[in-house]
Amino acid sequence: MPRRDFLRLPVVSSGAEYLVMGYLMRRNILAYKAPPHNEGYDLICIHPDPRHVPGPGELAQVRVQVKSRYATDCDRGFPVKEVSLDAFDFLVVVFLNIGKFFGRNEGGTGEREPEFYTLPCEFIREHHDATSSWQKVRLKNLGAEIEPYKAQAGFELIAEKLGVHKPRKNRGVIACEDESQL
């Protein structure tokens, strides 16, 4: 059997974590990158107000695992080890869509905008397949089921868990429920 060459793009993969950080910060969530090779999560998210006291159902910090797939024509699956399922609160899968690489494609066609899905740990547990050594979550046939977790709707789940309200401007005055979020 011929040896299969895998294309490794560490800069592109690392970029997915920074993209997620940018979108979280755009939503007024403080997001910090964990040290490289940290077990179970890649980002720590906290409320922007250092004096914020989490309310009922809120967390002081949210741990986020980021998984990415660079190929537009990927199988919409990603590996997640069973031992890490209790180490994160949300998993954000980023489909970077940099081009088509499957079959005879070399990556020069098929580029699209990235897609983000912010999946709660419970969703990952429910769809985790530990029957193979790769231990994957496959989203290919779950289009309707993952739609509520897509893009801003998914990032909003993290904001809600932290109690971060959307900044609003009313009649020329900036107003937030908590002015320290400004």
Quick one: pLDDT at residue 172? 67
Rg of the chain, C-alpha, whole Å: 18
Nearest to 23 by CA among 122, 112, 130, 155: 155
Residue 118 placed within a domain: yes
Residue 38 placed within a domain: yes
Count of structural domains within the chain: 1
Residue with the larger pLDDT of the pair 3 and 144: 144
Share of the chain above pLDDT 90, in %: 74
What CATH number corresponds to the domain at position 97?
3.40.1350.10
Instruction: Write down the pTM of the prediction.
Output: 0.88
Range(s) of the domain holding residue 123: 10-181
Q: Which two tokens stand for residue 97?
A: 């869509």
Residue 3 placed within a domain: no
Quick one: pLDDT at residue 181? 59
